[in-house]
Amino acid sequence: MKLINEFHEQGFHVVNNIYSKDEINTISNFINNLDTSNPIFRKTNDLFAIRQFVKEFPEIKKLLFNESLKEIIESIGGKDYFIIKSIFFDKPEKSNWFVSYHQDLTISVDKKIEDENFSNWTTKHNQFSVQPSKEILENIFTIRIHLDDTNEKNGALKVLKKSHLKSICRIDSIEFEKEIEVFCNVNSGGIMLMKPLLFYASNKTTNEKNRRVIHIEFSNKKLPKNLQWSEFSQIENFTKHNS
């Protein structure tokens, strides 16, 4: 499939029209009706976020994992991939923060262990984060579900094309004049696929429009020494022809 080949080659890919307007409205209404007093919610003038989104609200899976999305997941990794991390966030229309170029180098797990392949441990919101081996990171892929039209004026991600092929590296080793920077504009109802070792960033919002995104990470690897993914969740009934 051309989509899959480009995704693995470039480190990212945008696919529009995964959700209908009615599906996006249903997902939006579900989020709008949640109790924001829950401690997993983070709400400021610059950001509204729900940590461990799918784990805390598993009923959202029926709304998110339609046949179109499941077909893409199965095409990328197969039917044995599962959810390992999820977050909903809304970059409000008045938001003035930006994210500088970086790679996603940590995973969320259930406890801390001693292992030479796991480093840079942190604990936040009762969750352990750690940098695993390169092999684990290379196995992960991310899908970002866009509830709003997103472009360079309201925080669309900008990426360095093929930068995931550099493996794990420091940002100060990047020669930006030799890199190809791409803005990943996504329509409402579309998704962005990306690899965690891809360098990406986002600019400040300048058009006073929201950018609501559901970020979900997937893997099919078991972790060593009884370590568990803190947000492990299966994807039920992949595609109809495989159910």
| 70-83 tens-digit pLDDT | 999 999 988 999 99
**What digits encode the pLDDT tens for the residues 134-145?**
999 999 999 999
Structure tokens at 33: 């009706």
**What digits encode the pLDDT tens for the residues 160-202?**
999 999 999 999 999 999 999 999 999 999 999 999 999 999 9
Give the count of beta carbons closer than 10 Å to the beta carbon of residue 57.
18
Domain count, the chain: 1
Predicted model pTM = 0.93
Q: Which of 144, 161, 117 is nearest to 6 (CA)?
A: 161
Structure tokens at 91: 């970059």
Tell me the angle at which helices 2-10 and 67-77 cross, rounded to the nearest 10 degrees: 60
DSSP code, position 233: B
Which residues fall within 8 angstroms of residue 202, CB to CB, at 6 or more apart?
Answer: 98, 99, 155, 156, 157, 158
Measured torsion, CA atoms of residues 145, 88, 64, 144, in degrees rounded to the nearest 10: 20
pLDDT of residue 149: 96
Q: What letters, b where the CB count within 10 A reaches 16 and e where it falls short, cover 150-182?
A: beebbbbbbbbbebbebeeeeeeeeeeeebeee
pLDDT classification of 46: cutoffs 50, 70, 90: low
Using the predicted structure, report yes or no on whether residue 95 has a pLDDT greater than 70.
no
Contact (CB, 8 A) for 25 and 31: no
Contact (CB, 8 A) for 51 and 89: no
Average pLDDT of the segment spanning 88-107:
85
Q: Identify the domain containing residue 201 by its residue range.
A: 2-242
pLDDT classification of 241: cutoffs 50, 70, 90: very low
* CATH number of the domain that residue 84 is part of: 2.60.120.620
- Range with the lowest mean pLDDT among 46-50, 201-205, 236-240? 236-240
Contact (CB, 8 A) for 235 and 82: yes
| 3-class SS of residue 23 | helix
pLDDT, the chain, mean: 91
